[in-house]
Chains A and B, each alone.
Chain A
Amino acid sequence: MTLLPLIVAALGGGLLAWATRNAGRSGTVIAVLALAAVGVLAATLRDPGPGAVLAGEPVAFPAYARLFLAAGALAGLLVTLLAVALPRWPDAAPPDARRDAPDPGPAFLLFLGAAALALGIVSPVSALLPAAAGGIAGFVAVGRPPGHSRPRGGRPDEALAEAEAGVSSLRLGMELFRIAVALAVAITALELLVGLADVIAGEPFGVGVSFLALALAVALRTGAIPLHGHAARIIEGATRGAVPVLALWGPSLFALAALAGLEAGVLPLGLPLSLERGVVAGLAALTILAGGIGALAQDDVDHVVAYSILQDAGFVLLAFAAPDSGAWGPARTWLLVLPVAKTALLAWALVLGRTFGTRSLPELRGWARRAPLLAVALALVALATIGLPGLLSWAARAALVRGAFGEPLRTVVLATSLTSALIVARLLILGLYRPTPAVDGAPDERLRRPKPDLRRRVGATAREALDLNRAPVSAALVVALAMLAAGLGAGLFGLRAAAIEGPPVAPVPASTTEPAPTFQPVPVETPQDSDAPAAS
C-alpha cells in the first residue's frame, strides 16, 4: 500500500493538470503542486518490507526508486516553472516556434506514476508494462497538430500547415510504434528465457538470441546508432514540453526494467555469450563515437543537443555487454544521472534559443558574455555527465566501459567518450567570442524592477516584473536543474549507495493456487571493482 498514495498523487495530479490545461494558469498551478507532493512523498515514504503485495504482485519501494522519483519530480517541477518563465520570442521568431508551447507538467506527473509502478513491481517482466506506459506519458505534452481536414483546395499556407501536421503526426506515430516494438521484443525475450532456461542447459543459442533481442529493444528505445534516426528527429522536432519524457525519462525507465530482467534472466545462467555481448558492445561503441562526431559536426543547437543525448545514451548499452553483475550499480547510476543532466541540457538549449532568437551556432557567438548564468549551467551539465576523477558519474562511465571491453579497446572507447567534453568546450568557446548583433541586441541577465506605480495591482506588478526578468529567471531555473544533475553526478543524495542495492526478491508464495508463475529475480553481488561506485 506504500506506493498507492504516490501513484494516486502522480496520476491524479497529471490527469487533472492536463484536463485544466486551457483554463488559464490553473493547469500549471495544479501540476506544480502535484509535482511537489510527489517529490515529498517519494522522499518520505519507506519500503514496506518483504511480503508487500499490490493486486496480486509483490512490490517494494527501494531507496533507488525513491531517489529516481524524487529527482524526476524536482526536474519536472523546475521544467514546468521554466515553461512559465521562458523569454518570449523576438519579433523574428523562427517558423517552428509554436512547438515550444505546451506545458510539460502533466507529462512528468503521468510518467512518475508509471515509474513508481515500474520501479516498485518486483517481477521484471511485469515492470516492463508500466515502463512502456511511462514513455507514452510524454504524448500528453505534444499538443494536437493544428492540421486541416481538407486535403485539397486549401490556400498554400493551409497546405503547408497540413503537411507540417502530417510530418509531426508521422514522427510521433513512429515513436509510439517504437515503444510498442521495444515492449513486445523485451517481454517476448524474457518470457523465452524463462521457458528456455531449463531446456537449453549447455545450448546457449536460444539464450543468446533472447539476450540480443533484449539488448536490441533497449537500443531501439534509447536510439542507439544505427537505430538513431527517428530518436534524433523526435529530440529535434517534437514539442519541447514532450521531449524530456519521450526521449530521456521514458527510455531510461525502460532500460532500468530491462536491466532488471537481464540480471534475473540471463546472468544467473552463467553463459559467456561472447559473440552476442560483442555485438552489443560494438553497437555501444559505435553510438558513443558517431554520436560525438555528429554533435561536433552540427551547427544548430538542437542538433548538437540531440546527438549529445544519443552519444551518452550509448553507455546504457554497455551495461548489457558486461559479462557479470558488475555493471548493475554503474548502469543504474548512469540511468538516473543521464535523464536529469540531459533535461538540464535541453532546458539550456531552449532558453538559449528563446533569449537570442536563434538556434544557429554561428549567430550565437558571444552568448556566454551576454548570459553568464547559462554558461554556468552548461559547465554544470558537463560536470554531471562527464564528471571528474572521484565523482560518481566519472566512475560509472569508467566502470561501464571497463566491464564491456578489454584493453586496448577499453582505452580507445574511454578516450572516444571524452568527445563530450569537446562538444561543451566548443559551445563555451563560441560563447566567449565577440558577440554578434543578434546576441548584442538580446536581453542580458541583470534583474530589473518595474516603474513604481502605486495605482497598479500587485498581480499586475508581479506580471510586469516577470516580463522584465524572463531571461535571468529562466537562466536561474536552468542553473538549478543543472545543479541537481551535478549533485547526482557527484554522488550526493545517497545515489552511490542506492544504485548498488540488489533487486528486491519476491517472497515465496504461501499457497500453490497462485495462477501466474512469477518471474523471480535473484539478488546481485555487490561489484568488487575498486573504481566502480560500489567500492569508491
Chain B
Amino acid sequence: MNLFLVAAGAVVVAGGIACVTARRAAVVAIGAAILLGATPLLALPQPGLPVLAERAVGALLAGELLWVGLRGRTVAGASALGWPPMALLAAAAFGAGVGAQQLVPATGPPEALGVALALFTVAIVAVAGRSDGIHLGLSALVLIAATSVVRVAMSGPSSALETLLVSAVGAAAAAAVALLAPRLEADEAAGDVPTGAPPGSGVRP
C-alpha cells in the first residue's frame, strides 16, 4: 500500500467530512477547497504541475464562492452525525474500496477506489440526517469529488481538459450552493445579526 496515497486520501476525506459537518462557513469553505484540490494527488503516476495548478485554482475558487455565499449566514443543516462517527464510517468504506479493487480490474491505484467509496459514504450519510438546501448542495459537492476519484481509480490520471472540467463542475456546484443561501437584509449586512443571534440558532459570524 502506497503511504503517500493513503495520506492524500485521508486529507481528501477529511476535507469532505469538514464540508458536510462543519457549522462555521470558513471551515466549510476550507474543507471544500481541500476536497476538490487534493483529489488529483490520488493518481498514479502523479499528474504534472499544470494539472495540479488547474485543480488548485478551481478548488480555491470553489472555496471562495462558498465563503462569500455562506459567511454570516446559517449553516444549520449540518449532518446529524458528528465528525468522529463519520470518520469511522469513511475508514470502513475505504477498507472496503481497497478490497473491491481485487474484484474490478482497473488501471488506477486501489487507494483511489477506497477514497471514492469513503466519499460516497460521507455524502450518503450526510444527507440521511436533517438536511436543508445548503447542506444538500454541500453533499452534492462531495459526490462530485467522489465521482472524479472514481475516474482516477478506474482509468488512471485524467487529461488536462477533464481536470479542468472537474474543477469547473466543482466551482459551479459551489456557486450554486452560495446562491441557495438566503439573502442578507440591509441590517444584517451592517453586521448586527451574528452577534445578536439567539443561542442555538445556527448563525455564525
Residues of chain A touching chain B, judged by Cβ–Cβ distance below 8 Å, are 54-57, 117, 121, 125-126, 129-130, 132-133, 136-137, 139-140, 142-153, 162, 165-166, 168-174, 176-177, 179-181, 183-184, 187-188, 191-192, 194-196, 198-199, 515-517, 519
Query: Which residues of chain A are within 8 angstroms of B188 by Cβ–Cβ distance?
Result: 149
Provide the bound-state CA to CA distance between A55 and B54, in Å.
12
Given known A121-B161, A126-B161, A515-B156, contact A195–B105 (CB-CB < 8 A): yes
Output the residue of A139, A145, A169, A188 with the most chain B CB within 10 A.
Answer: A169
B151, A125: Cβ atoms under 8 Å?
A: yes
- Chain B residues whose C-beta falls within 8 Å of the C-beta of A149 in the assembled complex: 72-74, 182, 184-185, 188, 193, 197, 203
Nearest-neighbor residue (CB-CB) of B107 within chain A: A517
Q: How far does the alpha carbon of A8 sit from the alpha carbon of B166 in the complex, in Å?
A: 18
B185 touches A195 (CB 8 A): no
Is B146 within 8 A of A192, CB to CB?
no
Task: Evaluate contact between B140 and A177: CB separation under 8 angstroms.
Answer: yes
* Pair A180/B183 contact, Cβ less than 8 Å: no
Chain B residues within 8 Å of A126, by CB = 159, 161-162, 165
Chain A, residue nearest B154 (CB): A191
**What is the interface residue range for chain B against chain A?**
35 or more
Indicate if the CB atoms of A184 and B147 lie closer than 8 Å.
yes
Task: Please tell me which one of the listed residues B132, B158, B165 contacts residue A169 in the complex, with CB atoms under 8 A apart.
Answer: B132
Contact with A along B43-76 (1 / 0, CB 8 A): 0010100000000000000000000000011101
Chain B 182-205 per-residue mask, 1 if CB under 8 angstroms from chain A, else 0: 111100100001000110011100
- Check A515 against B184 for contact (C-beta < 8 Å): no
A56 in contact with B161 given A148-B182, A149-B73 (CB within 8 Å): yes
Give the distance in Å from the alpha carbon of A171 to the alpha carbon of B107 in the complex: 39
Nearest B residue to A145 by beta-carbon distance?
B182
Q: Cβ of A170 and Cβ of B159 under 8 Å apart?
A: no
Could you tell me the distance between the alpha carbons of A187 and B154 in the complex, rounded to whole angstroms?
Answer: 10
Contacts of A180 in B (CB 8 A): 123, 139-141, 143-144, 147, 173
CB distance from A448 to the nearest CB of B (A): 38
CB pair A137–B172 under 8 Å, yes or no, is: yes
Instruction: With CB as the reference atom, state the residue of chain A lying closest to B182.
Output: A147
Q: Within 8 Å CB of B156, what residues of A? A: 515-517
CA of A410 to CA of B182, assembled, Å: 49
Provide the main secondary structure of the chain A interface.
helix
Chain B nearest Cβ from A243, distance in angstroms: 15
Q: Which residues of B contact A54 (CB under 8 A)?
A: 161
B159 partner, pick from A55, A140, A171, A192, beta carbons under 8 A: A55
* A184 CA to B169 CA, complexed, in Å: 12
Most A CB within 10 A of own CB, among B74, B106, B169, B203 = B169
- List the A side residues contacting B74 at CB < 8 Å: 149, 151
Q: Across the A-B interface, give the 7 residue pairs with the lowest CB-CB distance, nearest first.
A: A147-B182, A173-B133, A169-B133, A173-B136, A180-B140, A56-B159, A55-B161
A129 in contact with B165 (CB, 8 Å): yes
Cβ-neighbour of A150 out of B155, B176, B193 (below 8 A): B193
Contact of A173 with B104 at beta-carbon distance under 8 Å, contacts A130-B165, A133-B165, A149-B193 already known? no
State whether A177 and B127 are in contact (beta carbons under 8 Å apart), knowing that A55-B159, A187-B151 are contacts in the complex: yes
Contacts of A139 in B (CB 8 A): 172, 175-176, 179-180
> In the complex, which residues of chain B have a beta carbon less than 8 angstroms from the beta carbon of A152?
198, 201
Q: Find out whether the CB atom of B198 lies under 8 angstroms from the CB atom of A153.
A: yes
| Alpha-carbon separation in the docked complex, A181 to B144 (Å) | 8
Cα distance A140–B177 when bound, in Å? 11
Q: From residue A199, how far is it (CB to closest CB) to chain B in Å?
A: 6
CA distance A7 to B142 in the complex (A): 27
The answer to whether A173 and B135 have CB atoms under 8 Å apart is yes
B155, chain A: closest CB distance, angstroms:
6
Question: Do residues B106 and A133 form an inter-chain contact, with CB atoms below 8 A?
Answer: no
Q: Which residues of A contact B193 (CB under 8 A)?
A: 149-150
Cβ of A184: which chain B residues have Cβ within 8 Å of it? Answer: 120, 143-144, 146-147, 150
Enumerate chain B residues within 8 angstroms of A515, measured Cβ to Cβ. 45, 47, 156-157, 159
- The one of B120, B127, B151, B179 that contacts A144, using a Cβ cutoff of 8 Å: B179
Q: A153-B198, A184-B147, A199-B105 are in contact. Are A517 and B165 (CB under 8 A)?
A: no
Contact A196 B104 (CB under 8 A): yes
**B202 adjacent to A517 (CB under 8 Å):** no
Q: Which residues on the A side are within 8 Å of B143 (C-beta)?
A: 177, 180-181, 183-184
Known: A177-B139, A195-B104, A515-B159. A166 touches B133 (CB 8 A): yes
Is B5 on the interface with A (CB-CB < 8 A)?
A: no
The answer, yes or no, to whether B168 is at the interface (CB within 8 Å) is: yes
Interchain CB contact under 8 A, A151 and B140:
no
Question: Any chain A CB within 8 A of the CB of B137?
Answer: yes
- Chain B residues positioned under 8 Å from A144 (CB to CB): 179, 181-183
Residues of A within 8 A of B72 (CB): 149
Asked if B164 is at the interface (CB within 8 A of a chain A CB), the reply is yes
CB neighbours of B173 from chain A (8 A):
136, 176, 180
Can you give 11 contacting A-B residue pairs, CB < 8 Å? A54-B161, A126-B159, A129-B166, A133-B169, A166-B132, A169-B182, A173-B177, A176-B137, A180-B147, A187-B151, A199-B105
A180–B197 CA distance with the chains assembled, in angstroms: 33
Q: Cβ of A172 and Cβ of B147 under 8 Å apart?
A: no
Docked Cα-Cα span, A168 to B120, in Å, equals 26
Evaluate contact between B182 and A146: CB separation under 8 angstroms.
yes
Given the complex, which residues of A lie within 8 Å of B154, measured CB to CB? 191-192, 194-195
- For the complex, what is the distance from the CA of A187 to the CA of B120, rounded to whole Å? 13
In whole angstroms, how far apart are the Cα atoms of A149 and B172 in the complex?
A: 24
A151-B201 contact in complex given A144-B182, A174-B136, C-beta closer than 8 Å: yes
Once bound together, how far apart are the Cα atoms of A166 and B107, in whole Å?
44
Given A170-B133, A173-B132, A516-B159, A165:B165 Cβ within 8 A = no
Q: Report B39 CB to chain A, min CB distance, Å.
A: 13
Q: Are B132 and A198 in contact (CB under 8 A)?
A: no
Which residues of chain B come closer than 8 Å to A519, judged between CB atoms?
A: 155
Within 8 A of A (CB), among B22-42: none
